């Protein structure tokens, strides 16, 4: 049960978004642009993985499982692989560029001033563009907000992680602008 009466029984971020649809719209528009825009050199899976990793660092069960399932869907890998990436991406088979971007995202999660120029330079050396660095920082910052929104209101989340995997193909097809979900 959420800390306030959300007037609905929806899980995670869906509950507060249904409660305040006027704030849901710009939040979902931001998520749509950051995570699904086709005019981006980072794949949808890579962008979802950034959100997953930040949500893992923030210990937001709902967000790390929703976006982890989507990352797995897009990257065509299973939950176990996503779990390994969350815990130790540096030892994974991700590209050096993606590892550098995840390191930046991890610093953003701690605080914006935790990002070091050396991290930016390392990402550039691995081929990251300014746009990719920008989007990584913004995705990480946005997920800190989303995670705090979900957990700050004490929303509930389905504990069966298969629930999120089962919904990933539908969410991937529909995107984040399906406002009928919040009515």
Q: For the residues of 65-86, what is the DSSP string, one character each?
A: HHHHHHHHHHHT--HHHHHHHH
Cβ-Cβ contacts under 8 Å for 4 (sequence gap 6 or more)? 153
Residue 17's Cβ-count burial label (10 Å; 0-12, 13-18, 19+) is: buried
The pLDDT value given to residue 181: 52
Q: What is the pLDDT of residues 30-82, one digit of tens each?
A: 999 999 999 999 999 999 999 999 999 999 999 999 999 999 999 999 999 99
pLDDT over 90 percentage in the chain: 96
pLDDT at 182: 45
For the stretch 105-148, pLDDT in tens is: 999 999 999 999 999 999 999 999 999 999 999 999 999 999 99
* Domain limits, the chain: 14-172
Of 46, 21, 25, 27, give the one whose Cα is nearest residue 35.
46
81's CB contacts (< 8 A; 6+ apart) are 72, 75
**Per-residue pLDDT at 23 exceeds 50:** yes
Q: Give, as one character, the DSSP assignment of residue 37.
A: -
**CATH class label, 14-172:** mainly alpha
Residue 1 pLDDT level (bands cut at 50, 70, 90):
confident
Q: What average pLDDT score do residues 155-183 get?
A: 88
pLDDT value at residue 183: 46
Q: Distances in Å between the alpha carbon of 73 and those of 15, 17, 46, 48, 127?
A: 24, 24, 11, 10, 25
């Amino acid at each position: 049960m959420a800390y306030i009466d959300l007037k609905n029984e929806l899980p995670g971020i869906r509950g507060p978004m249904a409660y305040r649809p006027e704030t849901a719209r710009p939040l979902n528009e931001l998520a749509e642009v950051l995570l699904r825009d086709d005019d981006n050199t980072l794949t949808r899976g890579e962008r979802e993985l950034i959100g997953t990793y930040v949500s893992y660092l923030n210990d937001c069960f709902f967000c790390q499982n929703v976006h982890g399932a989507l990352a797995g869907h897009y990257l065509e890998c299973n939950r176990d692989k996503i779990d390994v990436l969350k815990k130790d991406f540096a030892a994974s088979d991700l590209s050096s560029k993606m590892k550098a971007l995840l390191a930046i995202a991890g610093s953003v999660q701690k605080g914006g001033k935790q990002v070091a120029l050396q991290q930016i330079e390392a990402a550039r050396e691995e081929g990251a563009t300014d746009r990719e660095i920008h989007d990584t920082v913004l995705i990480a910052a946005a997920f800190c907000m989303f995670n705090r929104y979900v957990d700050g209101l004490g929303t509930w989340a389905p504990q069966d992680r298969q629930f999120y995997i089962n919904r990933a193909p539908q969410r991937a097809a529909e995107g984040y602008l399906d406002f009928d979900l919040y009515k």
